[in-house]
């Protein structure tokens, strides 16, 4: 089972209430759902477990949560913020 984890060289900051992921000179702003997924990408949770938590936390359909989690993990992996 895939358990995404945050890359060691990513810093998390808060600016004007928004969560920012900073790596080198690049910064990525997260919305509430992105922040929650980021928190769960700790190398302990599987993608399925993350999806379950998003369903429960935001009361969304599983298909929607699964799509959001997959897209977030894929985008953050491409940006080298997450490791798989």
Please tell me the predicted confidence (pLDDT) of residue 1.
77
Name the CATH architecture for the domain at 5-79.
Answer: Orthogonal Bundle (1.10)
Please tell me the predicted confidence (pLDDT) of residue 65.
97
Question: Are 26 and 79 contacting, i.e. CB atoms less than 8 angstroms apart?
Answer: yes
pLDDT in tens, 5-41: 999 999 999 988 899 999 999 999 999 999 999 999 9
Q: Average pLDDT over the chain, rounded to whole? A: 95
d(CA 18, CA 20): 6
d(CA 12, CA 21): 5
Q: Is the pLDDT of residue 68 over 80?
A: yes
Please tell me the predicted confidence (pLDDT) of residue 22.
95
Please tell me the predicted confidence (pLDDT) of residue 17.
87
Q: Domain residues of the chain, as ranges?
A: 5-79
């Amino acid at each position: 089972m895939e358990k995404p984890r945050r890359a060691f060289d990513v810093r998390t900051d808060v600016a004007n209430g928004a969560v920012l992921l900073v790596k080198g000179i690049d910064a990525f702003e997260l919305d509430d759902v992105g922040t929650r997924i980021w928190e769960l990408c700790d190398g302990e949770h599987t993608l399925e477990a993350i999806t379950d938590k998003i369903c429960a936390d935001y009361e969304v359909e599983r298909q929607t949560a699964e799509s959001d989690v997959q897209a977030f993990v894929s985008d953050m992996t491409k940006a080298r913020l997450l490791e798989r």
